[in-house]
Each structure stands twice: as structure tokens, then as C-alpha cells.
Amino acid sequence: MTVVSADPAASPRAERRTPGAMGARLRSAGLFAVSIAIGIGIWQLLAMKYGSALVASPGETLSAARELAADGTLGNSVIASGRRILIGWGLGLVVGVPVGLLMGQVPIIRRLLDPYIEFFRFIPPVAFVTLAVVWLGIGEASKVVLIFYTSVFIVTLNTIAGVLSVNETRLRAAAALGAGRWQVMRSVVLPSTVPHIVTGARLAMGNSFLTIVSAEIVAAQVGLGALIWTSRNYGRIDWVFVGIIVLGVLGFAFDRVLRVVASRLLRRYEVKL
């Protein structure tokens, strides 16, 4: 009997801990810091050229952020917008994935629902802002529904694309081995579709940030969109810059968390984001 011993250094986890991998991470972090520094430098030059009436400088924006944070406005706005985005986006994911899997697997359902998917996905959510307020009021429901509307079609279409791209040979092999429809779905279709679902989820997250500003400008007292609109009414360009930058930072953070979670889910399928 031959005994084969596994070399820990050969495992992917050990490889990620090597000095070379650590050096690559440090270089990546360094390039990220340099990129941010260059961006802030360009921002400062633009502020010097056009003046604070048009472009708030980094220092003025930081001071305004401290002002808004001190009275709780900034924190409440971030929490309100973040909550609305996560709830609406999550509902879009929960509905879009099963619908996409079903449409991808069952041709008759795909033909029945495809006209509605193709019709509504071309109507921007901002077109429904007024109707959402009239039907659902100015409470949380109208904003969440608009975010859901933004997300669900993107997730559905990407899921359908993933199902339709599954290798036909793998499906036939599973069927030849006696796998039923549910087993094929769980063991072949779903694992092959996960990368497309992740892509759809990330795209839907980005579009959710586009929608939340329009929704909050029209029908919200608290939120980053409402903060930007109120700042405009008061002529506070520095507050506008705070709202815009915080939106970008929040979106960046959400996407990075989503990437980390997705990478762990996809590691078993050896898919890199």
C-alpha cells in the first residue's frame, strides 16, 4: 500500500500566505493609496481654479462632513439610504434568481414572461417615482419598491443567461446517470449559473444607487438623495460634495463586501471575480 502525504505548502491556502502573495497585496494597497492621492490632488487643483462657489475643496468638504456628522444628519442619511438599498436589492435578488432559473429551464414560461421582462426593463425607475408615491405614499415602501424594480430585471436576465449557457454535455451526462430534474438543477445548473447571478447582483447594486437618489429627492426627508437636494436649495456646495462622496464610498464598500462573500461562495467552483 502506498501512502501519499499532502504537502501543505502546495495547497491554495498555503500559497496565498507566501511572501510573494503578501508583496502583491502590499503593492496593490500602495497603488490604491497613490490613486486616491492623485485624485484628491486633481480635486484640489479644480477647486483652486474654479473657486468654492462651484467646486468645494477637499478641506471644505471634510469640514462640511464633520458639521453634518456632528448634528447626526450624515449618519441618519447613510443609515436610511443604506437600509432602503439593501432591502430593495435583497428582494430583487430573492425574486429574480428563482424567476430566472425557472425561465431558463422551462421554455414555455420563458416565452410567457419574456415580453413583460423586455418591456419593463427599458422603462427607467425614475419614470415610476410619481406613481410609487401616489400608490404607496412617501414612506419607506415607495423607495424600496423602486429599488426592487431596479434590481429584479437585472438579476433575472443574468440568471437566465447563466442557465442557457450551461454546457449541454453536462446536462446529458447527468440525465444519463439517472439524475432527475431537481437533481440536475441543484448539481449542474445552479453551480454553473452562480457566476452569472453574482454578476447580476453586482450590477443591480450599482443601479440601486442610481435609483435611490431620484427616489429620495422626490419622496424623502432623510437620505443621501434628500441631503443632496436640500443642500442645493440652501446653496451649500460643500454639503452636495459630501453627499456625492459618501454615496460613492458607500457603494464601494457594499460592492467590496459583496465581492468577498461571492468569492467565498465561488471558491469551490474556482471562479475569480
What is the phi-psi region of residue 223: left when phi exceeds 0, alpha when psi lies from -120 to 50, beta otherwise?
left
d(CA 24, CA 190): 33
Q: What is the total residue count of the chain?
A: 273
Which pLDDT belongs to residue 170? 65
| CB of 242 closer than 8 Å to CB of 59 | no
95, 123: one domain: yes
d(CA 44, CA 203): 31
Question: Would residue 13 count as lying in a domain?
Answer: no
Question: Would residue 10 count as lying in a domain?
Answer: no
Domain end point (choices 55, 75, 100)? 55
Cell of 124: 427607467
Domain interval for residue 23 = 19-55
160, 250: one domain: yes
Query: Residue 35 to residues 28, 30, 32, 42: CA-CA distances in angstroms?
Result: 11, 9, 5, 11
Question: Would residue 48 count as lying in a domain?
Answer: yes
d(CA 155, CA 94): 9
Which pLDDT belongs to residue 83? 95
The per-residue pLDDT string of the chain (273 residues; one tens digit each, 9 = 90 and over) reads 444 444 444 444 444 456 667 777 888 888 888 999 999 999 999 999 998 888 999 999 999 999 999 999 999 999 999 999 999 999 999 999 999 999 988 889 999 999 999 999 899 988 898 888 889 888 889 999 999 999 999 999 999 999 888 877 666 666 666 666 666 666 677 778 888 999 999 999 999 998 998 888 877 788 999 999 988 888 899 999 999 999 999 999 999 998 888 887 777 655 444
Instruction: Name the packing angle between helices 73-105 and 107-120 (round to 10°).
Output: 140
Query: Residue 10 to residues 6, 15, 17, 222, 267: CA-CA distances in angstroms?
Result: 8, 7, 11, 53, 17
CB proximity list for 102: less than 8 A, separation 6 or greater: 109
119, 41: one domain: no
Which pLDDT belongs to residue 147? 95
The residue with cell 440525465 is 175
Question: Would residue 11 count as lying in a domain?
Answer: no
Q: Which domain CATH number covers 135? A: 1.10.3720.10
Domain end point (choices 55, 70, 102)? 55
106, 143: one domain: yes
Question: Would residue 224 count as lying in a domain?
Answer: yes
Cell of 88: 430593495
34, 91: one domain: no
45, 160: one domain: no
Give me the number of domains the chain comprises.
2
Instruction: Look at residue 177 and give its three-state secondary structure.
Output: coil
d(CA 98, CA 194): 12
d(CA 59, CA 238): 10
Cell of 137: 405614499
Residue 140's identity, in one-letter code, is E
| CB of 197 closer than 8 Å to CB of 205 | no
113, 231: one domain: yes
Which pLDDT belongs to residue 108? 94
211, 106: one domain: yes
Residue 73's identity, in one-letter code, is T
d(CA 259, CA 202): 8
72, 204: one domain: yes
41, 111: one domain: no
Question: Would residue 39 count as lying in a domain?
Answer: yes
Which pLDDT belongs to residue 171? 64
65, 130: one domain: yes
Which pLDDT belongs to residue 271? 46
| CB of 208 closer than 8 Å to CB of 89 | yes
Question: Would residue 2 count as lying in a domain?
Answer: no
What is the phi-psi region of residue 51: left when phi exceeds 0, alpha when psi lies from -120 to 50, beta otherwise?
left
| CB of 184 closer than 8 Å to CB of 241 | no
Nearest to 250 by CA among 101, 32, 79: 79
158, 46: one domain: no
Which pLDDT belongs to residue 217? 84
The pTM score is 0.82
Question: Would residue 199 count as lying in a domain?
Answer: yes
